[in-house]
Structure 1
Amino acid sequence: MKPLTVVQVSDTHLCPEGQLLHGSIDTWQLTEQAFEAAASFAPDAVVVTGDVSDRGAKIHRRAAQIFNQAQQDLGCPVITIPGNHDPLGAIAESFNTKRLSTGPYPADTVHEVMGLRIIGLDTGGFQQAQGQLNREQLDWLASLLTVPAPRGTFLLLHHPPVEATSQARAGRGLHNPMELAAITAGSDIRMILSGHYHQMATSQLMNTPVFMAPAVSYNMNPFAPTQILDEPGAAFAVHQVSQSSVDSFAVSSAQALGLNDGPSLPAPVKSSQPSD
């Protein structure tokens, strides 16, 4: 099968019109730059792994218009899940217009891209420290996974089901990761894609690879005393999917667009897990 490319955009933290994040970061501009830069990778799908808005800002109608325009311009589905900054129900029918089906919550969706199944789950957590999947969502996921997809499955969660590498994010992942692990173990899930931690990292939930994307808005600096960069991160991830492996790496939007040298990024990360 022909390899396919999934671009992962995360933690855009879009603010009300006229406002800048932390007084200096234009997250609308950074988001538009990320979608523009994604085009250079000719993606087969773009996934947005949560925190579309910042602190519950009522921007979702405008965000849906921009995401749907990007879907049209890129010629591929844009698949969105909410984060802890997005109120319940904010990611609804105006998003995920290419979905095949919807689960217990409006943002629980299934998409199929060239044989790769992409399942998004709403981990909630609005104004709370952690996210959570309830029994209905877990049962729905388990029922989907009883039939494997031709090229396996990507699972989207805003809250990583693993602990953060940064002390500033400790205790802020998924509340019930082992309940999820009981379902993903032995399934055709090739990778769990998440955001939330504002720092690119990889881990495993039992034997399932977990990829935590860099943020479009700003990224954590594990070497700085404050653990937050003084300038926006404006980065996203690219996952190149073949039958035998998934190669994942981070991309600076500014570098991809040739705007400036941009911040240095970690080396590519490769995880191999054949699909059955």
Structure 2
Amino acid sequence: MEPLTIIQLSDTHLQPEGQLLHGTIDSWQRTEQALEAVAYLEPDAIVVTGDIADRGSPIHERAAELFNRTQRVLDCPVISVPGNHDPLGTVGESFNTRRLSTGPRPADTVHEVHGLRIIGLDSGGFQLAQGNLECEQLDWLSMLLAAPAPRGSLLLLHHPPVEATNEARAGRGLQNPMELAAITAGSDIRAILCGHYHQASTSQLVNTPVFMAPAVSYNMNPFAPTQTVAEPAAAFNVINVGAKTVDAFAASSDQCFALNESPALPAPVKSSQTSN
């Protein structure tokens, strides 16, 4: 059984047209670079783990168009959950158009990718320090996991259910991680994929691996806890799901573009929108 390639994008922090993130970062350009780059990796699915917008900016319909266009061109699902910068309900019907079912919140979804179940949970937290999963969401997740999937499950949420190693993000993860752990421990969940901390890292929730993606927009310098780093390339995680293993590593758009002359690679996706 060939491993599946899941690309994890996170924290795009998309701005209204004509505005730059922190006055210097073109977050639309970064996001489009990431989507173009991952085309070369022939993903089986692309997941977006929250903070699609920056500070509630009304960009979600345009973002959904970009993700849906990518989904059509690459013929793989683009699966999104909101973050604490995305108001409740903004990741709704126009996103996750290949979902099999929807849970208590519009962004609570189930997808199936070649036998791998991908479950998205909206951890909320808009304008709050922490995220939270409500009882109805946890009950829904428990019901889903009562029947294992052929290749197991991945769980997506924005707020990591583990503490940050960066002081600037301390105390900003999931508010009720052990309630989630009571459900995931012993289930078929093979890994939890999160964003929010703007830094690639790994941890465990009891016995479940937690992979935190670098941000597409900008990242934190782990050696200078209050300093942000605006790299010239968009960063993302590459998750390889095998029969018995799940591996993850961080990559960037410039690394993928370095291979773009290979004739074996598919054409990158091109956005019809102009980045601002």
Counterpart residue number, 1:76: 76
1:214-245 Cα distance to aligned partner (Å, 9 max, x none): 00000100113633114456100111111010
Listed as ranges, the gaps of 5+ residues in structure 1 are 260-276
Shift of 1:40: 1.0
Structure 2 residue 182 is the aligned partner of structure 1 residue 197: no
Letter in 2 for 1:123: S
Counterpart residue number, 1:170: 170
Whether the aligned pair in 2 keeps the contact of 1:216 and 1:232 (CA below 8 Å) is: no
Counterpart residue number, 1:59: 59
Q: Give the whole-Å Cα distance in 1 for the aligned partners of 2:227 and 2:121.
A: 28
* Equivalence map 1:103-252=2 (5 Å): 103-224=103-224, 226-231=226-231, 234-252=234-252
3-state DSSP of counterpart to 1:148 = coil
Structure 2 residue 92 is the aligned partner of structure 1 residue 89: no
Q: Give the whole-Å Cα distance in 2 for the aligned partners of 1:177 and 1:233.
A: 32
Letter in 2 for 1:179: E
Which of 1 and 2 has higher RCO (CA within 8 Å, sep 6+)?
Answer: 2
Percent identity over paired residues: 73
Q: Give the whole-Å Cα distance in 1 for the aligned partners of 2:140 and 2:227.
A: 37
- TM-score norm. by structure 2 comes to 0.92
Counterpart residue number, 1:273: none
1:124-171 Cα distance to aligned partner (Å, 9 max, x none): 000000000000000000000000000000000100000001000000
Letter in 1 for 2:96: N
Whether the aligned pair in 1 keeps the contact of 2:167 and 2:225 (CA below 8 Å) is: no
Q: Give the whole-Å Cα distance in 1 for the aligned partners of 2:224 and 2:211.
A: 23
- TM-score norm. by structure 1 comes to 0.92
Report the aligned-residue RMSD.
1.1
Whether the aligned pair in 2 keeps the contact of 1:50 and 1:196 (CA below 8 Å) is: yes
Flag as ranges the 4+ runs of structure 1 deviating above 4 A. Answer: none
Letter in 2 for 1:107: A
Q: Give the whole-Å Cα distance in 1 for the aligned partners of 2:181 and 2:11.
A: 24
Q: Which moved more, 1:248-257 or 1:85-94?
A: 248-257
Counterpart residue number, 1:50: 50
Equivalent residue pairs, number: 259
Distance 1:7 1:230, change over 3 A: closer
Whether the aligned pair in 2 keeps the contact of 1:215 and 1:233 (CA below 8 Å) is: no
Whether the aligned pair in 2 keeps the contact of 1:8 and 1:236 (CA below 8 Å) is: yes
